[in-house]
Amino acid sequence: NIFMIEKKKTELYQELGLQARDLRFQHVMSIATRNNRIIMRMEFLKAVITPEFLLILDYRNLSQEHWLLNELASQLAGEGQLVTYSLPFEFRAIEAILQYWISKLQGRLNTLQPQILETLEVLVDPKLLSVDRSKLHILLQNGKSLSELETDVKVFKETILEILDEEEVIEELCLSKWTDPQVFEESTSGIDHAEEMELLLENYYRQAEDLLNEARELRVLIDDSESIIFINLDSHRNVMMRLNLQLTMGTFSVSLFGLIGVAFGMNLESSLEEDPRIFWLVTGIMFLGSGLIWRRLLSFLGRHLDPPLPPHVPAVLKKSQPAAGRVEIKTNLKGETFGLSRSTLTNQ
């Protein structure tokens, strides 16, 4: 049965037997017990669990309202996929809230993952000579959202881990065991209720651990993709710098032999300007000398920029090295086994 009530805070904590600070709204994550009541804070979701009912305080989230009206009732009635449907009511309530919260975290990751992968696929393309700033902005926003998700999952894990480390708190979470210990001594599987509660919390702790590992893998993928992007940009930048250097060397070569034309172009009288073949001769010398100098500079550039080839290893050495390695390993093993010195075995 689902119904909505409006009460003053003072009336509510008096009826529940709690204190005012127990109903304080805080954006924290905690699971605590007080006066046979379980108080669960999951940031904007706050609930009070008793052996008879589940009280959700001041819900104003649309997705939370959908969960309350369409999913929670069937889960608590045993019609959903809860593992604890055969256990007392507080087990089903705790599992329903934990399942809702872990599904919210998983949904956030499922929304971020395709967006990040699509953005990285575009940015890592080696054919691109520049990086789209709009894609970088999208990647930055998704990276921030992923960091927030990782923080929320870590807090969720730490909250459950604090309870798993305290056996007394696990015992206090089994409300029905304290109200009617004879009826609720053991579950249908023959396991004590405290152990059932511990198994329940461990299950969601493992789910949070798996979720955090997926987020970490996505974070590593982003870091690796950033390295690839920088490598691609550096590669294109090196190509442009090399082209610029080649053009600079060509300009230097032309300018060097252009001094010949400058010398002949001065307003000085000589017998050479009367011969029409001198123009073609000087022009040919200029272009030929410029080409030779430029080619010489390019070969010098290639020798100093291209990576050197690995040294050639003769075939005889390639075959002899593994055999020598095996002999050395065997002698060492014999020396260690029988207590003999390495030099004695080598001499033998």
Angle at 29 between CA 24 and CA 169, to 5 degrees: 95
Going by their DSSP bridges, the two strands 29-33 and 38-42 should be labelled as: antiparallel
Q: How confident is the model at residue 191 (pLDDT cuts 50, 70, 90)?
A: low
- Reported as a single tens digit per residue, the pLDDT across 278-302 is 777 877 887 887 788 777 777 776 6
Q: What does the pLDDT average to over 98-104?
A: 90
Which burial class, exposed, middle or buried, applies to 67 when counting CB atoms under 10 A from its CB (0-12, 13-18, 19+)? buried
The pTM of the full predicted model, rounded to 2 decimals, is 0.65
- The whole-number pLDDT of residue 311 equals 56
The residue among 240 and 341 whose pLDDT is bigger is: 240
Please name the helix (run of DSSP H) or strand (run of DSSP E) that holds residue 41, with its range, or none: strand 38-42
**Contact indicator for 145, 108 with CB cutoff of 8 Å:** yes
Domains in the chain, start-ordered, CATH in brackets?
Answer: 64-237 (1.20.58.340)
**Contact indicator for 249, 298 with CB cutoff of 8 Å:** yes
Those residues whose C-beta lies under 8 Å from the C-beta of residue 324, and which sit 6 or more positions away, are: none
The residue among 125 and 87 whose pLDDT is bigger is: 87
Q: How confident is the model at residue 109 (pLDDT cuts 50, 70, 90)?
A: very high
Give the whole-number percent of the chain exceeding pLDDT 90.
13
Q: How far apart are CA 211 and CA 156, in angstroms?
A: 11
Q: What does the pLDDT average to over 119-130?
A: 72
Q: What does the pLDDT average to over 192-218?
A: 90
Burial pattern 102-127, b for ≥16 Cβ within 10 A else e, equals bebbbebbeebbeebeebbeebbeee
- The whole-number pLDDT of residue 306 equals 55
- Nearest in space to 94 (alpha carbons), one of 36, 59, 48, 154: 48
Q: How confident is the model at residue 347 (pLDDT cuts 50, 70, 90)?
A: very low
pLDDT at 325 over 60: no
Q: How confident is the model at residue 156 (pLDDT cuts 50, 70, 90)?
A: very high
Q: How confident is the model at residue 309 (pLDDT cuts 50, 70, 90)?
A: low
The residue among 207 and 186 whose pLDDT is bigger is: 207
Lowest-pLDDT choice from 109-123, 153-167, 303-317: 303-317
Q: Which two tokens stand for residue 132?
A: 């789209």
pLDDT at 130 over 70: no
Q: Which of 83-87, 147-151, 165-169, 263-267 is predicted most confidently?
A: 147-151
Lowest-pLDDT choice from 103-112, 141-150, 163-172, 289-298: 289-298
Q: How far apart are CA 250 and CA 258, in angstroms?
A: 12
Q: How confident is the model at residue 131 (pLDDT cuts 50, 70, 90)?
A: low
Q: How far apart are CA 95 and CA 53, in angstroms?
A: 14
- Reported as a single tens digit per residue, the pLDDT across 21-38 is 777 766 778 888 888 888
Q: What does the pLDDT average to over 314-325?
A: 44
For helices 89-123 and 133-164, give the axis angle rounded to 10 degrees: 150
Q: How confident is the model at residue 321 (pLDDT cuts 50, 70, 90)?
A: very low
Integer angstrom CA distances of residue 71 from 39, 47, 92, 126, 216: 21, 16, 13, 48, 31
- The whole-number pLDDT of residue 189 equals 54
For all residues of the chain together, what is the average pLDDT?
75
- The whole-number pLDDT of residue 282 equals 77
Q: How far apart are CA 239 and CA 241, in angstroms?
A: 5
- The whole-number pLDDT of residue 305 equals 57
pLDDT at 213 over 90: yes
The residue among 19 and 190 whose pLDDT is bigger is: 19
Those residues whose C-beta lies under 8 Å from the C-beta of residue 221, and which sit 6 or more positions away, are: 116, 117, 120
